Structure 1
Amino acid sequence: MALLIPKTTDDDIQALEALCERMTGFDELINLEWLDGYMAALACGPRRLSLEDWLPVFGDGLFDRVFADAADAEAARAVIGKRWAELCAQLDAESILDDHEVLRIDPLMYRFDSEDDEDSEAAEPSETPEAAPVAEAPTDAADSETADPAPADWPGDGVYWSLGFGEAIEDFPEDWVSPTPGDEDEETFYDLLESIALLANTEVQERQETIHRLYDGVDMNRDELITEAMYAVQELRMYWLHHAPKPATRRVEVKVGRNDPCPCGSGKKYKKCHGADA
């Protein structure tokens, strides 16, 4: 039975946006879209994390620095927690298995104005609701005098989302374990990650080559890349069902009874040998 997915309302988005604006003062890269991508990576990972598992980790403890007041922090957790619960429901493995062709994940992404929008024949993806516009997009690569020129659709929808997704992987390396070399799903795993990373790739030639390799030589516009990236997120959720890192072996010491033979091999009872002082 598919889970009932809570729906993010406009008020929810505005509340989450307001929280992210406060965090931006400590880390200018973080915004609503970035946080949504970050949470999506955790929601599709091998473990079902709770809010308290990752909030203290992301941004090197950023949440606790921004929301130091207890009441303020509780209110912020409620706002973030609602979106977190929604993403976890969208990426519920059983529901995806019911029909893997259905795109369930509904990302929060900024909609950038682009000259390509009017010419594009593809409709705006319904799975990408509009949030408040951002002031600036990442410009590190685009502004560098030595860097390759940025793609024509830069800055574009999904840039921050992809960056947030990647940051979550870096924050939880013990979860995102690389496949064993030669594993039959090794190439698939890296292709799925590349589909998501493409949204933030500014290297024009490298990006085009990757698109052609992943999509059999077909050119893709940004809306199509976003759709494929979201399917990749769902496929990663399925991947981890079969490749979750094994928990460390837990060693449990056998308790020796006082009248049992001493483990040292002396032949004496434990209470008269090494257990005499116990």
Structure 2
Amino acid sequence: MTTPSAAPLTDAQWDFLESKLEQYKSETSVWNTSELDGYLTALVSGPKVIAFEEWFEALWGGSEFMPVWENAQEAKRFIGLVIQHMNEIAGKLMENAEEFSPIFMEDEHEDGHFTLSVEDWCFGYERGVVMGDGWEGLPEEEQELLACILVHTYDDESDEEEIDPEEAADMVCIGALTLHAYWLAQRTPSEPVRTADKVGRNDPCPCGSGKKFKQCCLH
């Protein structure tokens, strides 16, 4: 078995992921690469390891919304790139936290200038938090950091003063780093380091080919 790569994705690889998320999206799925980045960040940061088949189905909103791939190669490439990026996130959070940089979208304004938008990333992070048990056990200080992320997922039409986009991005990044560090410290020494690939070798491949994973997208 080849160890999954943790190398940064190329622009072409990002374009492929973005196009497939758009092609196969539903009302309940991850819609873009910013949301995907937030989702994967929460998955590798939480208190428990979540099996691949669980989080991959949840990426699409459930088993009934899983893509009908054009062919096995398309599925294999998509899965491989998602796992590769997940490994990159995990590596940065574990060993190079100063290099961690969430992928935020940009909003274009009427005057033509752009500002960062954290909303999609935070929706993805929320999706990852919901996937895992144990987040409710956060101490008060860490709960406040999580709230600073999740507040950007609320459909709030209040008249409260908006947070500066750059400040919001900084707060979300700091929150994600701190939450990962907290849960990392809670893991017992005997608990294995989480890895992205959690599909059993004899389980059906999530690409939908009908083959066992070890005979399909594992290779």
Q: 2:79 aligns with which of 77, 80, 86?
A: 77
Q: 1:244: Cα distance to partner?
A: 4.7
**TM-score normalised to the size of structure 2?**
0.68
User: In the alignment, does 2:173 pair up with 1:178?
Assistant: no
**For residue 180 of structure 2, what is the amino acid of its counterpart?**
R
Change (3 A) 1:116 1:86: farther
Aligned to 1:24, the other structure's residue is in SS state coil
User: In the alignment, does 2:122 pair up with 1:159?
Assistant: no
Change (3 A) 1:62 1:87: farther
Contact 2:149–2:172 (CA<8 Å) still a contact in 1?
yes
User: In the alignment, does 2:13 pair up with 1:55?
Assistant: no
| CA deviation map 1:48-100 (0-9, x unaligned) | 556456213432136744438433321221121222121111211x444xxxx
Map 1:77-226; keep pairs closer than 5 Å: 77-92=79-94, 94-96=95-97, 102=98, 104-114=99-109, 157-172=117-132, 174=133, 176-179=134-137, 186-203=139-156, 205=158, 208=161, 220-226=163-169
Change (3 A) 1:27 1:113: same
How many aligned positions are there?
184
Map 1:233-272; keep pairs closer than 5 Å: 233-244=176-187
Aligned to 2:181, the other structure's residue is in SS state helix
1:30 maps to which residue?
31
CA distance in 1 between partners of 2:135 and 2:123 (Å): 19
Aligned to 1:111, the other structure's residue is in SS state strand
**For residue 101 of structure 2, what is the amino acid of its counterpart?**
D
**TM-score normalised to the size of structure 1?**
0.55
**For residue 189 of structure 1, what is the amino acid of its counterpart?**
E
| CA deviation map 1:4-29 (0-9, x unaligned) | 96223211210110121122156466
Q: Give the gaps of 5 or more residues in structure 2.
A: 191-219
CA distance in 2 between partners of 1:52 and 1:207 (Å): 41
| Structure ID, larger Rg | 1
**For residue 106 of structure 1, what is the amino acid of its counterpart?**
S
Higher helix share: 2
CA distance in 1 between partners of 2:184 and 2:103 (Å): 25
CA distance in 2 between partners of 1:230 and 1:236 (Å): 10
Change (3 A) 1:207 1:168: farther
**For residue 160 of structure 1, what is the amino acid of its counterpart?**
D
2:41 maps to which residue?
40
- Two-structure CA RMSD over aligned residues (Å): 3.4
Aligned to 1:112, the other structure's residue is in SS state strand
CA distance in 2 between partners of 1:28 and 1:170 (Å): 14
Contact 1:51–1:81 (CA<8 Å) still a contact in 2?
no
Q: 1:225: Cα distance to partner?
A: 0.6
**For residue 76 of structure 1, what is the amino acid of its counterpart?**
F
**For residue 238 of structure 1, what is the amino acid of its counterpart?**
A
